[in-house]
Amino acid sequence: MNSTWLLITAVAGFGITAALGWRVIPLLHRLKFGQTIREIGPKWHKNKQGTPTMGGIMFIIGITAAVLICVPLYYMQQGFETPLMLGRVFGGLGMAVGFGAIGFMDDYIGIVKRRNLGLTEKQKLVLQFLVAGAYLISMKLSGEDTATVIPFIGSIDLGLLYYPLAAILIVGLTNAVNFTDGIDGLNASVTMIVLAAFTICAGYLSMAGLTALGAASAAACLGFLLWNFHPAKVFMGDTGSLFLGGMAAAMAFGLDMPILLLPLGLIYWGEILSVVIQVTYFKRTGGKRLFKMSPIHHHFEMCGWSEYKICGVFGGITVIGGAIGVLAVLYGL
């Protein structure tokens, strides 16, 4: 993609998201959309009680606006991509927005209706699989096949098995990203690095629209971090974390390489596995805990790590995973 257009798209994603903070955060305050801190959490998190949540609206608007304005303008100047590539870009964005809408409903019910748990787990899973299914159908209609690319190995056709496996992976990843949201700046910083790595891969493969989508998304995460770094002035809520999960999945499947989610998503998988392990261990030992608290970032908090340190270490791990993924694409295709 033309570097000027890529820069314009990234700046638009960053600028719109960052600028919205001056409007959205006061609005969330006025609407009393404040975060409720659970009693089981770290005691020092009580200081965050009432901090506005649902701030993910900021980067959802920023990314959507940047992509819907800049990408068509680029196509008008340089020429449109294939229907499949258009589907990967706009279908992927649509999937992310769909997951964000589920998160919005969950946040809205939990805050406005005073129901701490928002949607039930069953309701969320049903809605998430519907969104993932709609995305996979749109990809099929755009011309997508059932093959997936694995660096250093090649293309593997999974046949009809592709669809249930893809849906499970998309929903699993989205919830893993959701679990990563729990301390100031963590989810946005980790996902910014993940999306930046995907953007580099898309650029190397000359996927213009997907490169722009990734650049706008990574830059918007940075714009959100201006308001979300510790001490956070706003939280993204499930509105934002589910959207970011959908966006990471959209980039992975848009590249036809969901396998890249293994190295790039090291933190995501560690977060969700820590919850599964903790719950399983708790049930099998009659109430004992393997971690001081899960997801794993809370364990390190309870061990005395600051939020800055956790973000730094987890971000560093993601940089390493991102580098592995990028190198795999550069030298394995």
The DSSP code sequence of 193-259 is HHHHHHHHHHHHTT-HHHHHHHHHHHHHHHHHHHHHSSSPS---HHHHHHHHHHHHHHHHHHTT-GG
Which pLDDT value is given to residue 45?
58
**pTM exceeding the 0.85 threshold for the entire prediction:** yes
Residue 327 within any structural domain of the chain: no
Query: Can you give the pLDDT of all 333 residues of the chain as single tens digits?
Result: 678 889 999 999 999 999 999 999 999 988 877 666 555 555 555 566 678 989 999 999 999 999 999 999 999 888 888 999 999 999 999 999 999 999 999 999 888 766 556 788 999 999 999 999 999 999 999 999 999 999 999 999 999 999 999 999 999 999 999 999 989 999 999 999 999 999 999 999 999 999 999 999 999 999 999 999 989 999 999 999 999 999 999 999 999 999 999 999 999 999 999 999 999 999 999 888 999 899 999 999 999 999 999 999 999 999 999 999 999 999 998
Q: Is 113 helix (H, G, I), strand (E, B) or coil?
A: coil
- DSSP symbol at 234: -
Cα(301)–Cα(273) distance, integer angstroms: 17
- DSSP symbol at 295: S
Q: Are 189 and 151 in contact (CB under 8 A)?
A: no
Residue 116 lies in domain: 3-260
Q: Is the dihedral of CA 252, 2, 329, 318 positive or negative?
A: negative
Tokens of 217: 């998304």
Residue 312 within any structural domain of the chain: no
Residue 63 within any structural domain of the chain: yes
Phi, then psi, of 2 in degrees rounded to 5:
-50, 130
Distance of CA 106 to the CA centre of its chain: 16
Residue 241 within any structural domain of the chain: yes
Cα(144)–Cα(154) distance, integer angstroms: 17
Closest CA to 170 of 199, 127, 228, 121: 127
The number of beta carbons lying within 10 Å of the beta carbon of residue 93 is 23
Residue 154 within any structural domain of the chain: yes
For tokens 């190198």, the residue is 327
Domain tally for the chain?
A: 1
Which pLDDT value is given to residue 114?
63
The number of beta carbons lying within 10 Å of the beta carbon of residue 281 is 15
Tokens of 74: 């680029």
What kind and span of H or E run contains 147?
strand 147-150
Residue 296 within any structural domain of the chain: no
Residue 47 within any structural domain of the chain: yes
Tokens of 211: 């490169």
Residue 13 within any structural domain of the chain: yes
